Chain A
Amino acid sequence: MDERIHLHLEGKSGYKILKTLGDLTGFEIRADLWHVELFQAPYLSGRSSSLEPAQQLPQDMIDFLEFKLKRFNCESVSPIDALKQIQTTYEAESKASKPAPPMGIIRYAELTTPKDKPLEPLPNRIHLHLQDVPVREALRYIGELSNCSIRYNHHSIGLYHLVALHHPKPVYRVSMQDITRQYGQPSGNVDEWLLEKFDLDQVSVWSAQYHKNSGDVFIVTEPESLHKLLPKKTLGSQ
């Protein structure tokens, strides 16, 4: 799945921005003689919020997470704006020499979402009124209210919208005959043809794969989307 990033940084260097983008999505920055490059790391080095912040985290990060916010109020703001508000509240109250670490939200695009199409912001609106609560707790509330899992990275904090990953969709086996009855004969690469034929603005499809030997097409989608793709009368089997 492709990750989609929601991030707002002010007064940062290009390195810090690239570092944060990489940190949130599991990429490390390297540079050869000619290029700045980002390499995908085989694992995310961060820690889940269900664990206590460990000694491995930089002291700045631990100080930030343990800092008690005297008062934190937000009313009907988006999750990314709630994060921004935590940063500004922390920086105003703590008078710390170091700014709050960068924080961003990562969503995951469906497999069939075009790569250049931005994902809409999370629809949730956050209402929070807290007093004398550590930043870590406030972050946890924002995570829960926006259906996100929090991960502390070394230089940033990410809220990962994992609902899609944890709520798998059904896999349907559809005969190619049923598809051609609805959409005509395929041409070229069948998998690409299928996605061209499906109206992806109207339906949510994670995957459509053709298996040549059996003549089956495996479609990963919600039941209501399948019925829009293939009205019931044309379905031979599921």
Chain B
Amino acid sequence: MHALIFTLSILLVLCQSKTAVAETREINAGQNSSHGYALLAAEFDDFKVSGSSLEDAIMQLCRKWAESENCETPAIKVHRYVDQPNTDG
């Protein structure tokens, strides 16, 4: 019984302390999303990123591909967990 109460208490604390929420960032929103599949099979001679965020690196990949294919950049979604904004302020 004590073990059950202890486990429930831990679970309650863990639930309350969760501050990260899922957020979706759509890269090149509104562009032709089906191009994303074509991007997967495309060949890249040289791809280099230096100190870029994941989203910027993907954006760079999309632009490089769109330039070589002379078409719109593909839309790609990135789902990540972010901290909830401070609501006390």
Contact = CB atoms under 8 A, between A and B. Distances in A.
A38 B78 contact: yes
Given A4-B52, A109-B53, A209 B86 contact: yes
B76 to A, nearest CB: 5
Interface residues of B, number: 38
Given A6-B50, A35-B33, A37-B76, A14 B39 contact: yes
B11 interface: no
Does more than half of chain B's interface fall in helix, strand or loop, or is it mixed? Answer: mixed
A120 interface: yes
Interface stretch (A15-23, A52-60, A86-94, A141-149): A15-23
Contacts of A181: none
Contacts, number: 128
21 contacts: A3-B54, A4-B53, A5-B51, A5-B52, A8-B47, A9-B48, A11-B43, A13-B43, A14-B39, A14-B42, A18-B58, A21-B57, A35-B77, A40-B81, A42-B81, A115-B56, A116-B53, A118-B52, A189-B89, A191-B89, A211-B89
Given A2-B53, A5-B54, A13-B43, 15 more contacts: A9-B44, A11-B44, A12-B47, A15-B41, A21-B54, A35-B36, A35-B75, A35-B76, A38-B76, A115-B55, A118-B56, A189-B89, A209-B86, A211-B88, A212-B88
